Structure 1
Amino acid sequence: MNPSTTSASVKKPTLSQLRLERCINANEFLQVVASCGRNFFRNTGAGHDGYLTMNGRGTIVWFHDNYTGQRINVAKEGSWYGFSHGGTLKWLVGAIGKHVLTGSEMRYGYFQPVMDNGMENPWGYDDDILLVRDAGVRLGLITPATPVVALGKINTDLDARRNNEQKIIIAAAESLIEVGCSVSVVVGEVVLLSDSTDPIEIDKAFCESGESGFSVKRVIDGAVQEGWIEFVSAFGIEVTADDNLQVHHALQMVNELAAQLGLQRNVPICESCGYQDHPDKYGSRCPECGADPI
């Protein structure tokens, strides 16, 4: 048999084929999410569970909402018309859509009752979150576990991580306070901290809460703006804010600090040119080749 003929006959899958395969796996993952825990994405009025499709070119991922039936472009910035879930699941669907298009993975330590940052998982799935994690690893959406290390090293690493996280929380609080925000930390109906402008007290209450974020409020031209600040994403510690708050500029340096401290995963490589510092967010163009996000 001619080796050159054999190698030529084995073709690598195209980008479109890879994306289609990842979309199929993503829908299987969504089915696992819908079948356990609090049954996120299970049919609640649309006649179907939540699921993903792509456009004909394989460049846009659509989420079909399980309540409204609305088709939503998961790459869209800002609010999603017809999306019947909150910010945590919006982030999840966005991360899954990014996986379909780029192959990026969500981090293993997010999908457990107590996350790797020491905070309680916001899903409320209890141990069923482990079923979701196992499915995500099997289907390629979640990074597999890292090897087990010595307990002493774990304790040291946790102490160092807490110190770094404290730097991020305080830096975020200071930046938000500087643009006129006050911070409240609430667990269920229990208010741990209300309208505070003390970064140290904010850090203390936030860590005690076990939540993945806190609420903020400020007054602009007599109008009250309220929203949520989230500290957890698929890429580690990433501080994001509800769009209506318009404080993204205030959080930019905080996220740069998180990256410097090693609290964020590396961003995906541009699939068009291989540039390794391609911006991680949808809506950004590659600074090297100018390609649209894919």
Structure 2
Amino acid sequence: MIFCLTVDDVCLEGYSTEEDMHALLQFFRSEGILSTFFVVPRAERIRLQERPGYVELLKQALAQGHALGQHGLEHDRFETGIPPRMILDLPHESASRERLAKEQAAIEEGLAVPKLRERLCQGRQILEDALECKIGGFRAPCLSTCENFFTALSAEGFSYDSSMYLQEGGWDLLQGKALAPRPISRVDFDRSQHSSGIRSLPLTTEYTWYLRQTDFEATMALAQHDFDSCLRAGIPFVTLAHVSPLNQCEDGCGFDFYRQLIAYAHEATSAVGDELRLLNLDETYEVLFDEKELA
């Protein structure tokens, strides 16, 4: 059974600081966790090359066995598609809702395949030049996708995408809605695979967005439900977190959350005679797809 912890918004103002990134790397190292960091190539119009502190931290991450993926170009909400409704409904997305209402035709015009390919290529070149490594994975800002996006990803030669999601419950909790976990099955995983040929490694949901102690128990119950569902379905359990929101959970409960969740995952996997593997998404892609295609 594969468990993948992924982290978004690296380098993005308001959601990632160098101090929090450093603390996250220390936490992962102490717990033996390999993660995948999705990096914004040109945040606030500043290219990654102009952020030497982040470049050093990300090279450390690579040396420690973590994977790095691309997270859009500038993290514009509509760079690669239109965000799903559960994200647009979040309180801090009011400006995005207003923009979509006023500019939807122009937004959709900007999602032509050639324009998408140009953005993908620009962002990837920034990351590869700064980090001196190949970037094969992608996650769309705010999980914004469209048909042309997957076509463009495939045309640009990316190995996999991780923008599809299997569980809306995490965002329901953020909005104080009654929790009704969505069932997760192998069918959902298979449906996430796109006809363009790009491989999909879908995530479940966000569990630690400024998590509070009052929400800890319900959020843990959701995460355990999702892990058990993935275990039964024989698909990877891919979680979503954000650099500063995870660090800044109330009383450090975000780190405690993942300690407890990983311990639960070890026990649940062992109970069915399997072994838990904490892998990054690059490794997961190789296990699930490269080996099958070479067989």
Interval of TM-score (by shorter of Structure 1 and Structure 2): under 0.3
Structure possessing the higher radius of gyration over alpha carbons = 1
Indicate the structure with greater strand content: 1
Q: TM-score, normalised by structure 2?
A: 0.26
Higher relative contact order (CA 8 A, sep 6+): 2
Indicate the structure with greater helix content: 2
